[in-house]
């Protein structure tokens, strides 16, 4: 395990051991320590006091805590406690009314994402903690991980959860993205429903990879873009069975979003197309769904 | 008021068989309304998720239709884990290949719960009716998406737990439901307690398990699906998956849909959710589900619902348990309740499919029941009291809690 300030290591060590380690200790069986195990957790009040003490040590203490973390299976792994401690501390700092503590933690986590001495699984863990407590101040640090094949997914999830400032990070990463990272970026832009992602999503609708195309179609539907209607209707008439199902769903979603935004004529155009083209008996449920939606639109238009 | 001993699947099926003799058989051509395939006595079925409860879930489905004189022929089954067991004709690893088949009408889903919502939604998008094992979902946003899909495509969704079917035939429970649905009891003084039986330690996760090599025939990426792609360990699959937030929510998520299914019917809670949740638990682990003591949930009506694990800390005070009766109302209101019609009998999945009407455990009801234990788990995870808006389905003033209610999915999977 890396060296650390005694204070942080001591705080971490005060957390209870796993059930298996407690059992082995009571039975004086040191050869059975460290077995994979469940655990029961500390007294909440004692844990809160430990977290508060660690936070009082500022950035230095938090960075030291992060340096103690090693994932199970890593040659330096000794205990789950440091990882558990950091997550508990994040929950503690995120309580309403503790904004300075939270800002301190978020800034430290974001800075440590760039620490090359940390194994990637630890950096992924830090990104997941930012998914929980992060804010716009961490967006740029997370955005830099979008270029890393192994960290792109947790960084993207954190950015989507944070939302503020996230779209710009995905758009900046898009031109140089390859393989799975393209899919992750398109999915994230779609989930964010940020209008600045519209041109990129339209571009991705012609992507050679079907997952990217389906995800882009879903994103265009989320954004309620009338300009996407021709592309989505064309995709929905695909012969490939699952692509047809997915793209038809994107059309239904787009029509709902358009109707919700007051553009009933564009919504009706989509519903009419689906009603008229779903003639196979096994697709009549779609015809019925489109007709019912049009009936609702008509009812709302006349009411 | 104590929670009921739950109706077992076997008991439910016996009741359904008896009820089926009296039910009206609706011909097959009503399936999906106009222009459907010609009348037939056979439906195409598929089972997605063949381990654990899978065969039992599909058997429940088949028996329900048998009662109505309809045969369900299993045309496909899918196991999202093992690559070497698929022939892509009747056995699949990729559920999408099952759902694109036009000869399949009804689907039973018994995968681990992190797949329940996505596969249910995809099935309904493809025109299938769905019987889905409990728990319905892994987080709150998934449930609303399932409800929307069922409504959008006019498909039948039934959750795979049946306690409410038995409860809905009990005169005392019918009376309680009528009192609650009348809205005349303000505030509602009821205190409903579920204590024990939630398998907290049993379905906890390991906190120090080192990664293991992925078995060559395991499609680990597909198994993880919308959840983070973690290092493999055998404890994360095969039933013990329940102990990880990525796939379920421990014993609370696994057992509470059973325990609460009758209660949400009795107390008229199928269209609402708690407005407050207060936990008593040690700090939660970020990955492995762990211990908790109790969670107290309050509804806008005043009803208090307590989930007490009986496995950690001081118990919730069970002496506060309380039911409701006509005596809680003024005499004039009692007559209103007495003269109110009894609720319609609940339809089982087969009856619902044949009649194109919502089943007893329909998507909205299942989602609202799941919301109870999801809120409880979120409160445990953030370690503080929550206020919840049952209409907008968001936690008020708590970003971290909302990030657990609305979780990003790993691409390409999305709601």
Determine the residue among A84, A220, A275 to mutate to test chain B binding: the one whose Cβ has the most chain B Cβ atoms within 10 Å.
A84
Q: Do both B377 and B302 map to the same domain?
A: yes
Q: Do both A211 and A124 map to the same domain?
A: no
Q: Are strands B91-92 and B71-78 parallel, antiparallel or unpaired?
A: parallel
Q: Is pLDDT above 80 for A300?
A: no
Using a CB-CB cut-off of 8 Å, the residues of chain B touching A130 are: none
Q: Given B164, B183, B217, which residue is the final one in a domain?
A: B164
Tokens found for residue B382: 């953030």
User: Average per-residue pLDDT in chain B?
Assistant: 92
Mean pLDDT of B155-161: 97
Q: Do both B174 and B143 map to the same domain?
A: no
Mean pLDDT of B353-363: 97
Q: Is pLDDT above 50 for B299?
A: yes
Mean pLDDT of A16-41: 93
Position with higher pLDDT, A225 vs B410? B410
Q: Given A90, A109, A134, which residue is the final one in a domain?
A: A134
Q: Is pLDDT above 60 for B22?
A: no
Mean pLDDT of B294-306: 98
Q: Is residue A303 assigned to a domain?
A: yes
Q: Is residue B230 assigned to a domain?
A: no
Binning pLDDT at 50, 70 and 90, where does residue B16 land?
low
From the list B37, B125, B399, the residue facing A249 with the nearest CB is B125
Position with higher pLDDT, A160 vs A4? A160
Q: Which of B93, B199, B179, B164 is nearest to B368 (CA)?
A: B164
CA B132 to chain centre: 8
- Say whether A288 and B34 touch across the interface (CB within 8 A): yes
pLDDT of B102 reads 95
To the nearest whole angstrom, how far is the Cα of B44 from the nearest Cα of chain A? 12
Q: Is residue A224 assigned to a domain?
A: yes
Number of domains present in the structure of chain B: 2
- Domain of A17 in residue numbering reads as 1-134
Q: Do both B384 and B269 map to the same domain?
A: yes
Binning pLDDT at 50, 70 and 90, where does residue B15 land?
low
Binning pLDDT at 50, 70 and 90, where does residue B35 land?
very low
Q: Do both A106 and A207 map to the same domain?
A: no
Binning pLDDT at 50, 70 and 90, where does residue A66 land?
very high
- For A173-182, what is each residue's pLDDT tens digit? 999 999 999 9
- Which segments of B196-329 are extended strands (E)? 276-280, 294-298, 304-308
Q: Is residue B212 assigned to a domain?
A: no
CB-based burial of residue A295 (10 Å sphere; 0-12 exposed, 13-18 middle, 19+ buried)?
A: exposed
| ipTM rounded to 2 decimals | 0.95
Q: Given A119, A134, A149, which residue is the final one in a domain?
A: A134
Q: Do both B98 and B188 map to the same domain?
A: no
Q: Do both A105 and A207 map to the same domain?
A: no
Q: Is pLDDT above 50 for A39?
A: yes
Binning pLDDT at 50, 70 and 90, where does residue B37 land?
very low
Mean pLDDT of A4-24: 90
Q: Is residue B280 assigned to a domain?
A: yes
Q: Do both B144 and B195 map to the same domain?
A: no
Q: CB-hemisphere CA count at 13 Å for B205?
A: 26
pLDDT of B349 reads 97
Nearest CA in chain A to B398: A96
CATH number at residue B284: 3.30.360
pLDDT of B105 reads 97
Q: Is pLDDT above 60 for B29?
A: no
From the list B122, B152, B207, the residue facing A84 with the nearest CB is B207
The rounded distance, in Å, linking the Cα atoms of A168 and A196 is 8
For A:133-172, CB contacts with B below 8 A are 133, 153-154, 156-157, 160-161
Q: Do both B289 and B391 map to the same domain?
A: yes
Q: Is residue A160 assigned to a domain?
A: no
Q: Do both A128 and A201 map to the same domain?
A: no
Q: Is residue B49 assigned to a domain?
A: yes
Q: Do both B38 and B61 map to the same domain?
A: yes
β-sheet with B91-92: strand ranges across: B91-92, B71-78, B42-48, B106-109, B129-132, B157-159
The rounded distance, in Å, linking the Cα atoms of A303 and A292 is 16
From the list B102, B288, B407, the residue facing A282 with the nearest CB is B102
- Domain of B43 in residue numbering reads as 9-164
Using a CB-CB cut-off of 8 Å, the residues of chain A touching B126 are: 245
Q: Is residue B209 assigned to a domain?
A: no
Angle of CA points A150, A80, A42, to nearest 5°: 135
**Rg of chain B taking only CA atoms, in angstroms:** 21
DSSP β-bridge partners for residue A287: none
Q: Is residue A144 assigned to a domain?
A: no
- Tell whether A174 is within 8 A of chain B (Cβ): no
Q: Given B116, B138, B164, which residue is the final one in a domain?
A: B164
Q: Is pLDDT above 50 for A131?
A: yes
Q: Do both B180 and B261 map to the same domain?
A: yes
Number of domains present in the structure of chain A: 2
From the list B153, B231, B382, the residue facing A285 with the nearest CB is B153
Element (H, E) at B42: strand B42-48
Tell me how many residue pairs between chain A and chain B have CB atoms under 8 A apart. 179
- Say whether B204 and A38 touch across the interface (CB within 8 A): yes
Q: Is residue A184 assigned to a domain?
A: no
Mean pLDDT of B246-251: 97
Which of A140-149, A199-208, B262-271, B402-411 shows the lowest per-residue confidence on average (mean pLDDT)? A199-208
- Tell whether A179 is within 8 A of chain B (Cβ): no
Q: Is residue A156 assigned to a domain?
A: no
Q: Do both A216 and A130 map to the same domain?
A: no
Q: Is residue B54 assigned to a domain?
A: yes
pLDDT of B34 reads 43
Nearest CA in chain B to A185: B411
Mean pLDDT of A229-257: 92
Mean pLDDT of B208-224: 96
pLDDT of A240 reads 84
- For B225-240, what is each residue's pLDDT tens digit? 999 999 999 999 999 9
Q: Do both A28 and A127 map to the same domain?
A: yes
Q: Is residue B279 assigned to a domain?
A: yes
Q: Do both B158 and B172 map to the same domain?
A: no
Q: Which of B183, B151, B344 is nearest to B272 (CA)?
A: B183
Q: Do both A92 and A17 map to the same domain?
A: yes
Q: Given A102, A134, A166, which residue is the final one in a domain?
A: A134
Q: Do both B15 and B111 map to the same domain?
A: yes
CATH number at residue B57: 3.40.50.720
Three-state secondary structure call for residue B138: coil
Q: Is pLDDT above 80 for B17?
A: no
Q: Do both A286 and A203 map to the same domain?
A: yes
- Say whether A284 and B154 touch across the interface (CB within 8 A): no
- Say whether B411 and A157 touch across the interface (CB within 8 A): no
CATH number at residue A267: 1.25.10
Q: Is pLDDT above 70 for B160?
A: yes
First to last CA, chain A: 70
From the list B99, B291, B399, the residue facing A41 with the nearest CB is B291
Q: Do both B195 and B146 map to the same domain?
A: no
CA distances from A44 to A85, B58, B199, B285, B293 (A): 12, 44, 21, 13, 11
pLDDT of B83 reads 87
Using a CB-CB cut-off of 8 Å, the residues of chain B touching A39 are: 204, 207, 285, 288, 290
The rounded distance, in Å, linking the Cα atoms of B377 and A172 is 36
Binning pLDDT at 50, 70 and 90, where does residue B61 land?
very high
- Say whether A161 and B403 touch across the interface (CB within 8 A): yes
From the list A92, A133, A191, the residue facing B408 with the nearest CB is A191
Q: Do both B77 and B189 map to the same domain?
A: no
Binning pLDDT at 50, 70 and 90, where does residue B80 land?
confident
- The answer to whether B111 and B93 are in contact (CB under 8 A) is no
Report DSSP letters for A208-223, one per residue. SSHHHHHHHHHHHHHT
Determine the residue among B34, B147, B283 to mutate to test chain A binding: the one whose Cβ has the most chain A Cβ atoms within 10 Å.
B283
Mean pLDDT of A223-251: 90
Q: Is residue B216 assigned to a domain?
A: no
Q: Given B164, B194, B224, which residue is the final one in a domain?
A: B164
């Amino acid at each position: 395990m890396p060296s650390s300030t005694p204070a942080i290591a001591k705080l971490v060590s005060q957390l209870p051991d796993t059930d298996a380690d407690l059992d082995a200790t009571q039975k004086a069986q040191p050869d059975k320590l460290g077995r994979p195990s469940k655990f029961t957790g500390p007294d909440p009040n004692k844990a809160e006091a430990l977290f508060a003490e660690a936070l009082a040590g500022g950035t230095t203490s938090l960075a030291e805590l992060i340096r103690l973390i090693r994932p199970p299976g890593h040659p330096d792994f000794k205990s789950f406690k440091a990882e558990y401690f950091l997550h508990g501390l994040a929950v503690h700092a995120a309580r309403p009314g503790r904004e300075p503590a939270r800002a301190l933690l978020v800034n430290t986590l974001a800075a440590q994402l760039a620490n090359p001495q940390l194994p990637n699984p630890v950096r992924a863990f830090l990104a997941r903690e930012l998914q929980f407590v992060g804010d716009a101040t961490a967006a740029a640090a997370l955005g830099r991980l979008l270029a890393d094949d192994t960290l792109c997914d947790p960084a993207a999830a954190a950015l989507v959860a944070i939302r503020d400032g996230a779209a710009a990070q995905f758009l900046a990463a898009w031109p140089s993205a390859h393989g799975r990272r393209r899919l992750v970026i398109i999915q994230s832009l779609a989930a964010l429903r940020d209008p600045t992602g519209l041109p990129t999503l339209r571009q991705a609708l012609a992507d050679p990879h079907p997952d990217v195309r389906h995800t882009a179609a879903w994103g265009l539907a989320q954004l309620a873009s009338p300009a996407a209607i021709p592309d989505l209707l064309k995709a929905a008439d695909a012969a490939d069975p699952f692509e047809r199902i997915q793209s038809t769903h994107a059309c239904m979603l787009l029509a709902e979003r358009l109707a919700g935004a007051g553009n009933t004529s564009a919504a009706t155009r989509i519903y009419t197309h689906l009603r008229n083209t779903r003639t196979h008996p096994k697709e009549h449920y779609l015809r019925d769904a489109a007709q019912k939606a049009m009936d609702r639109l008509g009812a709302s238009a006349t009411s | 008021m104590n929670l009921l001993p739950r109706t077992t699947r076997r008991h439910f099926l016996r009741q359904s068989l008896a009820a089926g003799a009296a039910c009206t058989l609706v011909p097959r051509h009503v399936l999906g309304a106009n222009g459907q395939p010609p009348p037939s006595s056979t439906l195409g079925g598929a089972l997605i998720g063949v381990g654990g409860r899978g065969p039992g879930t599909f058997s429940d489905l088949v028996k329900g239709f048998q009662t109505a004189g309809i045969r369900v022929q299993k045309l496909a089954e899918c196991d999202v884990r093992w690559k070497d067991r698929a022939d892509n004709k009747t056995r699949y690893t990729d559920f999408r290949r099952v759902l694109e088949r036009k000869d399949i009408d009804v689907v039973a889903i018994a995968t681990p719960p992190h797949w329940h919502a996505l596969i249910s939604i995809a099935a309904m998008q493809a025109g299938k009716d769905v019987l889905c094992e409990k728990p319905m979902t892994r987080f709150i946003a998934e449930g609303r998406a399932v409800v929307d899909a069922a409504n959008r495509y006019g498909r039948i969704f039934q959750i795979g737990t049946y306690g409410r079917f038995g409860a809905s035939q009990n005169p005392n429970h019918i009376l309680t439901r009528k009192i609650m649905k009348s809205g005349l009891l303000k505030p509602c003084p009821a205190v409903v307690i579920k204590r024990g039986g939630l398998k907290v330690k049993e379905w906890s996760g390991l906190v120090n398990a080192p990664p293991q090599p992925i078995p060559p025939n395991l499609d680990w990426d597909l198994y993880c699906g919308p959840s983070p792609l973690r290092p493999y360990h055998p404890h994360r699959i095969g039933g013990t998956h329940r102990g990880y937030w990525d796939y379920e929510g421990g014993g609370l998520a696994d057992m509470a849909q059973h325990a609460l299914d009758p209660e949400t019917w009795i107390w008229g809670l199928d269209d609402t959710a708690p407005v407050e949740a207060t936990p008593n638990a040690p700090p939660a682990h970020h990955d492995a589900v762990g211990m908790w003591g109790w969670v107290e949930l309050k509804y806008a009506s005043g009803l208090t619902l307590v989930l007490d694990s009986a496995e950690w800390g001081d118990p919730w005070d069970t002496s506060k348990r309380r039911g409701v009766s006509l005596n809680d109302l003024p005499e004039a209101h009692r007559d209103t309740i007495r003269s109110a019609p009894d609720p319609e009998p609940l339809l089982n999945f087969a009856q619902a499919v044949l009649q194109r009407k919502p089943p007893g455990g329909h998507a909205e009801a299942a989602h609202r029941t799941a919301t109870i234990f999801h809120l409880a788990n979120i409160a445990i995870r953030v370690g503080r009291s929550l206020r919840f808006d049952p209409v907008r389905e968001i936690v008020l003033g708590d970003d971290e809690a909302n990030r657990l209610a609305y979780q990003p999915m790993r691409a390409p999977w999305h709601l």
